[in-house]
Amino acid sequence: MILFKKTAELIEYLTIQRKKGLKTGFVPTMGALHNGHISLIDDSKKQNDLTICSIFVNPTQFNDPADFKKYPKTIENDVYLLEKEGCDIIFLPPVEEIYPPGTSTIHYELGVLETVLEGKFRPGHFQGVCQVVHRLLDIVKPDKLYLGQKDYQQCMVIRKLIALTNTPTQPIICATQREASGLAMSSRNMRLSDNERKTATAIYETLQAIQKDIQPGNLQKLKEKAALTLTAKGFTVDYVEIADATTLELIDNWNGSTPLVTLAAAFLNNVRLIDNIIL
């Protein structure tokens, strides 16, 4: 595994590999790696000649500076896991390599994706995500980009970014990896106590209950019941919603045929957790 910290050196190396005809798969992460991330590395390894993983905790996507400060960092273990998994290249840029002095910001037209769900509760978050992913795609120029369904709305945002910027990269969405308990794996789970981890499984259970109980017609009561269940277990709920799986427009009345996704975001003792199920 080769480790790069300098953008120019990575670009030079990858240009040579591309000229040899090698296909590249890219897994951007913020580190504190777990089996969810590793599953993306595995998929990329199966489908490409070279797999590149970046670890960069992007300051511009944190709407809450305290959340940025508290974001877990386990870099030595991350490098160990990537080496063990056979990742070819790790990119560990300092902030100034991603945002050199004088970097200008552009506004990405994300439409409804920016105002619903995560967009509503984390203002500016997806502009920050677009900024960093646009920059990373410009540097790495991968054939394929590996993303986790766990961040459903982020996958849609990045697909839109790729379309908006005419980037010749194919996004690949990979299934959410879960603990045996059903809890979606997340770097933020490290900040939960053993008891909180047990409680946290209620998010997935609540989404599964929606999946089981959903019927065409008004969905208001189903959503309210789900949010109340989480509140009763000690969560502070941002949302439990049901949306059109292709546009993410919220659905209050279901015609029985529109494909749906149910999504939730809730805090458990200051740790914000998200999950979703395609219905």
DSSP-derived pairing of the beta strands 236-244 and 260-268: antiparallel
Answer yes or no whether residue 10 interacts with ligand AMP by CB under 6 A.
Answer: no
Q: Residues near 83 by Cβ (< 8 Å), separated by ≥ 6?
A: 1
Instruction: Provide the minimum distance between the beta carbon of 61 and ligand AMP in the complex, in angstroms, as a whole number.
Output: 9
Q: Rule CB under 6 A: choose which of 24, 169, 186, 262 binds ligand AMP.
A: 186
Per-residue contact track with ligand AMP, 136 to 155, x per CB under 6 A? -----------xx-xx----
Which residue, 93 or 222, has its beta carbon nearer to ligand AMP? 93
Q: Rule CB under 6 A: choose which of 25, 26, 37, 248 binds ligand AMP.
A: 37
Q: Rule CB under 6 A: choose which of 29, 44, 127, 276 binds ligand AMP.
A: 29
| Interface size with ligand AMP, residues (CB under 6 A) | 17
Instruction: Provide the minimum distance between the beta carbon of 152 and ligand AMP in the complex, in angstroms, as a whole number.
Output: 9
Answer yes or no whether residue 98 interacts with ligand AMP by CB under 6 A.
Answer: no
The tokens for 3 are 């480790």
Stretch touching ligand AMP by CB under 6 A, among 31-39, 134-142, 206-214, 246-254: 31-39
Instruction: Provide the minimum distance between the beta carbon of 269 and ligand AMP in the complex, in angstroms, as a whole number.
Output: 19
Structural Rg of the chain based on CA atoms:
19
Rounded to a whole number, what is the largest CA-CA distance in the chain?
58
Which residue, 39 or 51, has its beta carbon nearer to ligand AMP? 39
How would you classify residue 18: left for phi > 0, otherwise alpha for psi between -120 and 50, otherwise beta?
A: alpha
Which residues, in sequence order, are bridge partners of residue 145?
Answer: 26, 171
Q: Tell which residue, 99, 56, 60, 95, has the closest CA to residue 75.
A: 56
Instruction: Provide the minimum distance between the beta carbon of 154 and ligand AMP in the complex, in angstroms, as a whole number.
Output: 6
Stretch touching ligand AMP by CB under 6 A, among 28-36, 70-78, 80-88, 113-121: 28-36
Answer yes or no whether residue 242 interacts with ligand AMP by CB under 6 A.
Answer: no
How would you classify residue 50: left for phi > 0, otherwise alpha for psi between -120 and 50, otherwise beta?
A: beta
Residue 107 appears among annotated catalytic residues = no
Q: Rule CB under 6 A: choose which of 110, 133, 136, 174 binds ligand AMP.
A: 174
DSSP for 59-106 reads GGG-SSHHHHHH----HHHHHHHHHHHT-SEEE---HHHHS-TT----
Q: Where are the alpha helices (DSSP H) in the chain?
A: 7-19, 35-47, 65-70, 75-85, 95-98, 118-121, 125-140, 152-164, 194-213, 220-232
Answer yes or no whether residue 7 interacts with ligand AMP by CB under 6 A.
Answer: no
Q: Rule CB under 6 A: choose which of 7, 131, 177, 276 binds ligand AMP.
A: 177
Catalytic residue list: 37
Which chain residues interact with ligand AMP by CB under 6 A?
29-30, 36-37, 39-40, 147-148, 150-151, 174, 176-177, 184-187
